[in-house]
Amino acid sequence: MSGNRVQRLKRRALRFLTDAKNDYNEGYYDTSTFHVEQALQLYIKALIFELFGKDYEGHGIRELLGYLSKLLKENGYEDLSRKVNELVREYREQLISIEDAYIDSRYEDIDYYEEESKELIGIAERIINSLEEVAKNVKLG
């Protein structure tokens, strides 16, 4: 698949994650959480395109992970599909918070707090690292 597109999406995703950390360090927990959502959304879309050459129009993190899991299973990577599903189960509540941040941090009168922001950044990092392992196994596979 187009390596330039994949690299561009991943670079943007990691830039959003850096923005999330910078916002967190400056006390902007609402935009930090928004940037976490953008980082995960772009990273998962990049991976779907990289591994399967498919675009996906959805924006929900759980929806994107579900689609990735489905593609993995359809292509014979059932163990990796289960691994992605386990990520969704393990972080379900936090993923809902991240998805809510996509709209709430921009349009709603809602506050995000230091601990929540810090936790969501850590979860985003763990998910991205886990997805890189998934991708590595597909490429070797």
16-26 tens-digit pLDDT: 999 999 999 99
Residue 31's pLDDT band (cuts 50, 70, 90): very high
Q: Which fold has domain 3-140?
A: Four Helix Bundle (Hemerythrin (Met), subunit A) (1.20.120)
Q: What is the pLDDT of residue 103?
A: 79
Question: What percent of the residues of the chain are helix, what percent strand, and what percent coil, each to the nearest 5?
Answer: 85, 0, 15
| pTM metric for this prediction | 0.93
Q: Which of 18, 14, 45 is nearest to 31 (CA)?
A: 18
Q: In which element (H, E) is residue 85 found?
A: helix 78-90
Read off the pLDDT of residues 79-133 as tens digits, 9 standing for 90 and up. Answer: 999 999 999 999 999 999 999 987 776 676 778 889 999 999 999 999 999 999 9
Read off the pLDDT of residues 48-87 as tens digits, 9 standing for 90 and up. Answer: 999 999 998 888 999 999 999 999 999 999 999 999 999 9
Contact 10, 48 (CB under 8 A): no
